[in-house]
Structure 1
Amino acid sequence: MDKHHISLIGVPLDYGQSRRGVDMGPSAIRYAGALKRLESIGHTVTDEGDIQVSAVEKTEQDTNLKNLDEVVTANTELAGKVADVIKQGKFPLVLGGDHSIAIGTLSGLSTTYKNLGVIWYDAHADMNTAETSPSGNIHGMPLAVAMGLGHERLVNILQGGQKVKPENVVIIGARSVDPGERQLIKEKKIKVFTMHEIDRDGMTAVMNEAIEYLRNRNVDGVHLSLDLDGLDPLYTPGVGTPVAGGISYRESHLAMEMLEDSGMITSAEFVEVNPILDEKNKTADVAVGLMGSLFGEKLI
């Protein structure tokens, strides 16, 4: 296992969706012992604190892009922070917050990585735009934004245009995909492993194929964007958009262990932990456990 200098970056943002409480996610993950867990494995960890998010009542400047100003402001600051951490040779580990924060994370990473691979571990594709979104919630749009699709203020954070090539994206665990997203997945030929493939072939086969796929793309880094609703709500009840029939606790640890063994992960984020909806911080505990497996924690 490679030893990392990890920078924890909290993003208490809940403006990308409609259910309050996910802004407390970074605190819940810290309370669950993220820093001590990573240090116990042998990594050096610096807690960079939280990105400043203004505490204002949610506004709806555009019914198809809810809270656009707040989401742009927070993600612009996050992008700059991630870019700085990368320049210092540290591993950025971002704690959410809703999944709209991936816009900032990927924008920051794109300053260094020019052929970045992305593993999107999620029940949802998050590839809507203002035109296709049923809700107008920006947390359902970050992957489309990263590929250069969407409102110019989101697409052009930190630097203009596409941050991630569609052919460098792998979605794992999808089971709730909107019609517009389905069409875009087909148009862009996105690599997607739905629950059908996981059930049929097993997580080992899925992860082996995902890892090999990205290696064949000659990526210069791989970002893991893990939404806790990728797991079945039995294991992660504290999420805003739970979808039954998801990835199991043990399958998720196996996936993280295989990613650690691959040595390809260069940044990560864990998002959508909502303590208000949780049961005794269970979802944050799962997030920290998965971090342990991703960063080399072994049973023996």
Structure 2
Amino acid sequence: MTVKKISMIGLPMDLGQTRRGVDMGPSAIRYAGVVERLEALEIEVDDLGDIVVGRPRLIENPNSNLKNLELVGKANVMLAENVDRIIGKGSFPLVLGGDHSIAIGTLAGVAKHYENLGVIWYDAHGDLNTEQTSPSGNIHGMPLAVSLGLGHSDLVNIYGYAPKVKPENIVIIGARSLDHGEKELIRDKGIKVFTMHEIDRLGMAKVMEESIGYLRGRTDGVHLSLDLDGIDPQDAPGVGTPVIGGISYRESHLAMEMLAEAGIVTSAEFVEVNPILDERNKTATVAVALMGSLFGEKLL
């Protein structure tokens, strides 16, 4: 699939975790030249701006240990509505985060349009925690579980249906920090995971060949959810939960280039850019460069 029109929307939210600053991610990505980069590929870019989250008063829910449950839910409903509208108009939705809890809304808006949506979760973490298994109560560690229909009902049922994705339609790439409950869920549901062990052993080219072949045969669309902490902190330091030993900058470009050649990605989000923790906007610049490769930019 050749992308001709992209509708870009930001959700500047940091409520899914406790380290402030990731709400500035969409601004940092724009500052790094995302619109110019994509327009240079002869893609029409419609920047819809940011969903207004504001600075709401944080309310503790006595019935849940999940942090900012109501606020995260409300923001994700707004995102789902926008993403649904973008796809309905025939445009490619590109979502800028924000912490990874925004994937709840992205997937709610996207999955409505597909019978068998595939998901590539490019991340150091599985984000498969639930209220019962989460050590922290941070919702940014739960969006993939929520999208599978597992977790708090207020999140699971966002946009009026559940689940959004099936476990056999998911591929996690780059995992190297998984909680005990997540490991059990991966084994129980048979979720396909390429940890850093597989990436080191097989090489990124083989990992992407297998991922593309696996999803192409069973899905009618593929959503890419790329957390910048999937990339090694040497290359992408501006993230809230860095984990050493990650995917390299060049390996990530290869992954995006192979996805562009395969033409299977139908929606995407780039999340967890935190300019407060960054070095001269390095991580946002990496995000924009990877977007270039995803949408067809070539070295030659």
Q: TM-score band, normalised by the shorter chain?
A: over 0.9
Identity of aligned residues (%): 69
Q: For residue 208 of structure 1, what is the aligned residue in structure 2?
A: 209
Cα distance in 2 between the residues matched to 1:42 and 1:14: 33
CA distance in 1, matches of 2:4, 2:106: 18
**Is the Cα–Cα contact under 8 Å of residues 6 and 93 in structure 2 kept in the other structure?**
yes
SS of the residue aligned with 1:47?
strand
For residue 119 of structure 2, give the secondary structure of its aligned residue in structure 1: strand
Runs (5+) with no aligned partner, structure 1: none
**Cα shift readout 1:22-45 (whole Å, capped 9, x = no counterpart):** 000000000000001000011000
Indicate conservation of the 8 Å contact 1:25/1:273, yes or no: yes
Per the alignment, residue 141 of structure 1 pairs with 142
Aligned to 1:41, the other structure's residue is in SS state coil
CA contact (8 A) 1:64 1:133 kept: no
How many Å separate the matches in 2 of 1:60 and 1:16?
13
How many angstroms apart in 1 are the aligned matches of 2:283 and 2:4? Answer: 25
CA distance in 1, matches of 2:3, 2:178: 37
Q: Which residue matches 2:39?
A: 39
Q: By how many angstroms is 1:57 displaced?
A: 4.1
Offset at 1:110? 1.6
- What's the counterpart of residue 120 of structure 1? 121
Tell me the TM-score normalized by structure 1: 0.98
- Contiguous gaps of at least 5 residues in structure 2: none
* Distance of 2:245 and 2:6 partners within structure 1: 33
Residues 180-220 of structure 1, C-alpha deviation per residue, up to 9 Å, x if partnerless? 00000000000000000000010000000000011121x11
**Corresponding residue SS for 2:187:** helix
Alignment partners' CA distance in 1, 2:60 and 2:280: 33
Tell me the distance in 2 between the aligned counterparts of 1:64 and 1:168. 30
Give the letter aligned to residue 48 of structure 1.
L
Output one character per residue of 1:22-81: Cα deviation in whole Å (capped at 9) or x when no partner.
000000000000001000011000001111113124333255210001100100000000
- Distance, in Å, in 2 between the alignment partners of 1:144 and 1:97 is 18
Matched, 1:85 2:86: yes
Structure 1 position 3, deviation (Å): 3.7
Residue 275 of structure 1 and its aligned partner are, at CA, apart by: 0.5
Alpha carbon RMSD of aligned pairs, Å? 0.9
| Matching residue of 1:286 | 286
Aligned partners of 1:64 and 1:131 also within 8 Å: no
Q: Which position in structure 1 is the counterpart of 2:23?
A: 23
Counterpart residue number, 2:237:
237
Distance across 2 between alignment mates of 1:255 and 1:3: 17
CA distances 1:139-192 after superposition (whole Å, capped 9, x unpaired): 000000000001111011112210000000000000000000000000000000
Question: Partner residue of 2:12?
Answer: 12
- Structure 1 window deviating more from structure 2 (46-55 vs 18-27): it is 46-55
Tell me, in whole angstroms, the C-alpha distance in 2 between the residues paired with 1:254 and 1:239.
21
Aligned counterpart, 1:72: 73
Q: Residues 46-195 of structure 1 correspond to what in structure 2 (within 5 A)?
A: 46-62=46-62, 64-195=65-196
Aligned length: 299
Tell me the TM-score normalised to structure 2 length. Answer: 0.98
Asked if the contact 1:95–1:269 (Cα under 8 Å) also holds between the matched residues in 2, the reply is yes
Asked whether the equivalents of residues 5 and 45 of structure 1 are also in contact (C-alpha less than 8 Å), the reply is yes
Alignment of 1:259-270 (within 5 A): 259-270=259-270
Paired with 1:245 and 1:80, the residues of 2 have a C-alpha distance of: 37
Q: Partner amino acid for 1:210? A: S
SS at match of 1:102: helix
Opposite residue 110 of structure 1, the aligned amino acid is A
Q: Is the 8 A contact 1:11 1:51 kept in 2?
A: yes
1:195 and 1:246 in contact (8 A); partners too = yes
Mapped to 2, the partners of 1:229 and 1:110 lie a distance apart of: 24
In 1, Cα distance between the equivalents of 2:134 and 2:91? 35
Deviation at 1:268, TM superposition (A): 0.2
Greater CA deviation, 95-104 or 151-160?
151-160
**Letter in structure 1 aligned against 2:96:** L
Contact 2:3 2:92 in 1 (8 A): no
How far is 1:261 from its partner? 0.4
Cα deviation, residue 135, structure 1: 0.2
Separation (CA, whole Å) in 2 of partners of 1:30 and 1:68 = 28
Confirm or deny: 8 A CA contact 1:106 1:146 kept in the other structure: yes
